[in-house]
Amino acid sequence: MITLENDFLKANIAVEGAELQSLYSKETNIEYMWNGDANYWAKHSPVLFPIVGSLKNNSYSFKDKEYELPRHGFARDYTFKAEKLSNTEAVFTLSYNEETLKNYPFKFELKLTYQIIERKLVLNYTVKNTDTKKIYFSIGAHPAFAVPNTPDTNYEDYYLAFNEDEKLTYWKLKDGLVSNETETIELSRHRLNLRHDLFYNDALVFKSLQSNCISLLNNKNDYGLHFHFDDFPYFGIWAAKDASFICLEPWCGVADSVNHNQKLTQKEGIIKLETGKNWSRFWEVECF
C-alpha cells in the first residue's frame, strides 16, 4: 500500500490494480471512498483496461484470430510496479507480459500517476505503445464514492449536480451490452436525485454528456465533492443493488453494442495509438 498525504488529504493506493482505496479529508474527518464491502462490491476504484465494459460473447477478433477478455479487461487484476516520488505523488506501472499477450496481442506500458494537491486528488492515465505495430485499446475510471458519507444523512439525501446538463439521455444495457434503447431523465436545476432503484437494471451509460464536472452533494449539510473530467467521450454512473456508494465513471471506450461485429478495430470508442506514441487523460476529485 502506498500512502500519499498533505495538510488536507490522505490517500491510500494498493499496488494490486493500482487501486485508490481510501481518500480521507483531515479537515472534514470524512472518508470519501466506498469501503469495498464484498457483500455488495469488493472494489473501490478499479482501472478499466484494455477494454471498458463487456465484449459481445466476452470475445473479439483481430487479424482473423479470436481472443477473450473479461468485463473491463485485466489491468485491475495485476500487481503494478509502484514508485513513490514524494509524499504527495506516486506512479504505478503495468507492462505487457507473456500472460497478457495471450488474449491481448499488443505490447504496452500503462502508467497511473496519483497526486494530491491541496484538497484535490488527481489521477493521470498514460498509455505508451511499445509495440512495432499500432495498438488498440479503451480505458476508463470506476471510482466508488461513499453515500452516505456522514452519519446524519442517508442515500436519498444525496444528489448529483451537473455543471452543464439539463437532461440526461442514457443507453440501456442488455446483458452487459449497449442496447438500441435510450431513456431521458429531465433534471431539476441540473440535479439528479439519488435512489437505489436507478441502478437496478445496471449502469446508466452516457454518450453525449455535456458536463465536465459532477458534484456529489446532499440536502442535510455542506460536505461533498466535485468530480472534474475532460475529453472522456463516454460516462457511466452505477451502484451495486442497495449499496452505499455511487460510481462516477469517465470512459474512453464503451461496452460492445448488441449488434457489434466483434472486430476490435471497428469497436465503438476504440483508441488507436501508433508505435512509440503516448496517450493520456486525467480526472480529479476535490473534497470539501
Within 8 A by CB and 6+ apart from 38, the residues are none
User: Residue 182 has what DSSP assignment?
Assistant: E
Instruction: Name the band, by pLDDT with cuts 50, 70 and 90, for residue 49.
Output: very high
Q: C-alpha distances in angstroms, 267 versus 136, 160, 241? A: 9, 30, 29
- Cα–Cα distance measured from residue 242 to residue 144, given in angstroms and rounded to the nearest whole number: 14
pLDDT band at 244 (very low <50, low <70, confident <90, very high): very high
Place of cell 504527495: 88
Provide the pLDDT for residue 138.
Answer: 98
Contacts of 248 (CB under 8 A, 6+ apart): 141, 143, 145, 160, 214, 216, 227, 235, 237
**Structure confidence at residue 144 (pLDDT):** 98
Give the pLDDT band (50/70/90) at residue 219.
very high
Distance CA 67, CA 249 (A): 26
Phi, psi of 236 (to 5 degrees): -120, 145
CATH class of 2-287: mainly beta
pLDDT in tens, 166-207: 999 999 999 999 999 999 999 999 999 999 999 999 999 999
Tell me the per-residue pLDDT of 7-40, one tens digit each, with 9 for 90 and over: 999 999 999 999 999 999 999 999 999 999 999 9
Q: How far is CA 112 from the centre of its chain?
A: 12
